[in-house]
Amino acid sequence: MLGGMSRIFTTSFASVYPHYVTKVEKKGRTKAELDQVIEWLTGFDESALAAHLAAGTTFEDFFADARLNPHASSITGVVCGVRVEDIDDPLMQKIRYLDKLVDELARGKAMVKILRA
């Protein structure tokens, strides 16, 4: 199981991003809203995000370069059967934070709530 877990670290963010877009757009949300959520979590504005997508940055390097939002620790709940607040590995936790925010966006949660304002 552990080997499978760490494979996401070396996966390019660009290869997963279209799945996030599809997931939120199927539920009537927009790519712009998704990008806003990603910016809130990582500090990457539109041009920084575009650069990471173009470069094929791995999740590991993507989050290494991020300025994680100080309120990220208020992201709680279950993703893929695991409580995000209980994840020991810091990188896996950041990836799951992102998954959780994408889930909340897709579920129609208000942006102000997603962004922990």
pTM for the structure as a whole = 0.92
Mean pLDDT of 71-96: 94
pLDDT band at residue 5 using 50, 70 and 90 as cut-offs:
low
CA distance 117 to 109: 13
Q: Alpha-carbon distance 30 to 35, whole Å?
A: 9
Confidence of residue 11 (pLDDT cuts 50, 70, 90): very high
**Cα–Cα distance between 95 and 8 in angstroms, integer?**
9
Instruction: Assign a CATH topology to domain 2-114.
Output: Helicase, Ruva Protein; domain 3 (1.10.8)
The conformation of residue 66, written as its DSSP 8-state character, comes to -
Band of residue 80 on the pLDDT scale cut at 50, 70, 90 = confident
Nearest-angstrom CA–CA distance, 2 and 10: 14
- Whether 2 shows a pLDDT value over 90: the answer reads no
Handedness of CA 104, 108, 25, 38 (dihedral sign): negative
